[in-house]
Amino acid sequence: MAVWLFLGPSLIGFSLFYLIPFVLGFYESFTDGALGGRFVGINNYTDLLHSASFRKAAGNTMLFTAIGVPLLIGLSLTLAVLLNRPLFLRSWLRTSFMLPLVVPVASVVTVWQIFFDWNGTLNAWLNELGLARVDWMQSNWSMTIVVVMYIWKNIGYDMILLLAGLQSIPKDYYETASLEGAGRFHQFRHITLVYLTPTMFFVLLISIINSFKVFRETYLLAGDYPYDRLYMLQHYMNNMFFELDVQKLTAAATLMVVCIVVMTSGLLRAERKFREYTE
C-alpha cells in the first residue's frame, strides 16, 4: 500500500500528460476528423507514406541519426579513455565538456547563428582571406552544422557515462593481461570494450533518443521551413499542428514512436544476448 502512495502522484501525472494524450492521438490517427470523425482505418498512414514532405523529413531524420550518433559515440569514447588517465587539468576538462548541458538552448543557438550567419564570424574570416561567403544554413553544409552542434551538446553527457563505465572495470584484469604479454590494443579490445558494452548500449540508446530531439536547435536556427536537408520529422509534425491537420500529425507521431520503440527493443535484446554470451 505504501508503494502505491508514493507512486500514485507520478502515475497520475504521467497518465494525464503523457499516456492518455498519446492513446487519444493514436485513436485520432485512424479517423478523418478531430472531433467526432469516422473511422477510416489506415488511410491516414497510407496518405502519410505517399507524402513527399513526410518522406523527405523521415529520410533527413534517419540520415542525421546515422551520421551523428556513431560520431558522438566514437568521440565520447575517445575522450573518456583519455580522461580516464592521469592528465594535467583533468577535472577542469571534465567540467568543461559538461558545460553545454547546462547552457540554455536559445543561448546555444544564438552563438551558432552569430558564427554561421551570412554576415557572421565565419564568413568574416573567409572574406578576410579573400574567399567567397557561404550561406551555411541554406546549403548542404547545414546538416553538417547541426550534426556538429548535436555532438557538442551531448558529448559531455555521453563521456561521463562512458568514463563511469571505464572506472568500474577492475584494474586487476589489465594487470593480469599485461603480465601475460597483451599489448594496449588487445587490452582495449578484449577487456575494455567487452566490459564496457552494457554502458555502450545505454549510451547508444540515449544518443538515438536525443537525435530525435534535435528539433529545438534546428527550429531556432533555421525556422519553420528550413533548407531541405534540415527538414526533420519534428518540422513536419510542427507544421501539421499549425495547419490543424490532426490526422497527419498523430499518424506521424505514432510512426516515430513505433520506430523508436523498435530500435530500443532491438538494442535491449542485443544487449541481453551479448550479456548472456559473455557470461
Residues 140-157 pLDDT 10s:
888 888 898 889 888 888
Q: What integer pLDDT is reported at residue 73 of this predicted model?
A: 92
Please report the beta strands in the chain, taking only residues with DSSP state E, as ranges in sequence order.
Answer: none
Model pLDDT for residues 43-76, shown as the tens digit of each residue: 888 888 888 888 998 898 899 999 999 999 999 9
Proportion of the chain in helix, strand, coil states, percent, rounded to 5: 80, 0, 20
d(CA 250, CA 219): 20
Of 72 and 87, which is predicted with more confidence? Answer: 72
Provide the mean pLDDT of the chain: 83
Give the phi and the psi of residue 50 in degrees, each rounded to 5: -90, 0
What's the CATH fold of domain 55-278?
MetI-like fold (1.10.3720)
pLDDT above 70 (res 34): no
- At a CB cut-off of 8 Å and minimum separation 6, what does 126 contact? 132, 133, 134
Distance of CA 126 to the CA centre of its chain: 31
Q: What integer pLDDT is reported at residue 75 of this predicted model?
A: 92
Q: What integer pLDDT is reported at residue 131 of this predicted model?
A: 83
**What pTM does this model have?**
0.82
Percent of the chain with pLDDT over 70: 94
Compute, in degrees rounded to 10, the torsion defined by CA atoms 252, 253, 255, 256: 120
Give domain limits for the chain.
55-278
pLDDT above 70 (res 88): no
**Residue 31, strand partner residues:** 39
Q: Are 145 and 214 in contact (CB under 8 A)?
A: no
Model pLDDT for residues 187-220, shown as the tens digit of each residue: 787 778 888 888 888 899 889 888 888 877 787 7
With left for phi above 0 and alpha for psi between -120 and 50, is residue 100 left, alpha or beta?
A: alpha
Q: What integer pLDDT is reported at residue 67 of this predicted model?
A: 92
Model confidence at 245, pLDDT cuts 50, 70, 90, reads confident
